[in-house]
Structure 1
Amino acid sequence: MCGRFMFEPNENEEIKRIYQLAVDNGYEPKTGEIFPTDKTAIVSAGDNQVQVVTMKWGFPGFKQGQSIINARSETVMQKTMFAESFMNRRCVYPTTGFFEWSQDKVKHRFNYGSNPETLYIAGCYKVFDDGPHSVLLTTAPNESMIKIHDRMPLILQKNQIKRWIYDQQFAIDFLNSSMPMLTAVKSE
């Protein structure tokens, strides 16, 4: 599970450009630590190229006030809540890292290294009565993650973003990809 992530335009030039694209398109993505239900910057399909918009993080759940924020890559095509969105409306979360908590409740920030590098997380979205909502995809953890948590985000490289969004077969095949090794830093 991925329950929070960072979006820091002041700490990362690439994220700063993505933030500015969202602003130029008339959106105001939340910055800093992103929590479920926040409106966050999302890369999605535009008319002729990808675009940066904002979406609320989390599909409405089964109970009042509940949000479903993650979908398992192993079952996303079988689950009624996610299958149609995955097949037709994939998106990407640009982040500067994400958080997981160990069993002893210690918060860890994950990224490629100790700096806030750009880390892209695969997702999909659906339009509800109050606008678009997105979920990010998770997968089995690799060695860099397994001691902290039993799930990790499905991570894309920058050069895979367009294929994830536009190429359905690429997206289906990517669900079983090995994830990159990450660094965990204890966070306050």
Structure 2
Amino acid sequence: MCGRFTFQPSDNEEINRIYQLAVDNGYEPKTGEVFPTDQTAIVRSGKGQVQVVTMKWGFPGFKSGQNIINARSETIMQKPMFSESFLNRRCVYPTTGFFEWSADKVKHRFNYGSDPDTLYIAGCYKVFDGEAHSVLLTTAPNESMIKIHDRMPLILQKNQIKAWIYDQKFAIDFLQSAMPKLKSEPLSN
């Protein structure tokens, strides 16, 4: 599912640059552990180049107070709630890792290694009542994730960000991509 991630500018030079771009553009992204509904740093299309903004994480749901934070990559183009956003307004979540909980309720941190490396998650966004909201995309888990959870984020490499945002064919094709091997680190609660 991917219900939380980290955005730690103090621990990662690349994330610090992204954070500064957001601040320079007049935004204040949530740092540390990011929860659904937080204003999170997002990379999206801008005038001639990508830009960093903040958006509320999650689309309003069908019931009052409901917040939909993820969209399945396998069905995103068939779901009316997400298809138009995916085709026209893709974005990227810059993170320093994400969390999942195992069946025995142990919290696990995922990243490429033990350090808070930059991990980019594919997403899309839509404007509701004048405010931009985003969802991140999930996919089937690979071998590094399957023992902990039955879904994982759709992860982009840095050199794929512009293609994801601007190239619809690339984005559609990328929905079927194999995900990178990640390291799981159990955390004490």
TM over 0.5: yes
Map 1:61-140 → 2, pairs under 5 A: 61-140=61-140
Map 1:169-184 → 2, pairs under 5 A: 169-184=169-184
Q: Which ranges of structure 1 fall in alignment gaps of 5 or more residues?
A: none
Q: Which ranges of structure 2 fall in alignment gaps of 5 or more residues?
A: none
Post-superposition CA distance 1:41-89 (Å, at most 9, x none): 0000001100000000000011111100000000000000000000000
* CA–CA distance in structure 1, aligned partners of residues 155 and 53 of structure 2: 19
Q: Does 1:34 align with 2:34?
A: yes
Once the 2 structures are TM-superposed, how far is the Cα of residue 173 of structure 1 from its aligned partner?
A: 0.0
What amino acid sits opposite 2:143 in the alignment? E
Once the 2 structures are TM-superposed, how far is the Cα of residue 130 of structure 1 from its aligned partner?
A: 4.2
Aligned to 2:157: 157
Q: Does 1:7 align with 2:4?
A: no
* CA–CA distance in structure 2, aligned partners of residues 63 and 106 of structure 1: 30
* CA–CA distance in structure 1, aligned partners of residues 47 and 75 of structure 2: 29
TM-score (norm 2): 0.99
* CA–CA distance in structure 1, aligned partners of residues 73 and 7 of structure 2: 23
TM-score (norm 1): 0.99
- Structure 1 stretches of 4+ with a deviation exceeding 6 A read none
* CA–CA distance in structure 2, aligned partners of residues 169 and 139 of structure 1: 18
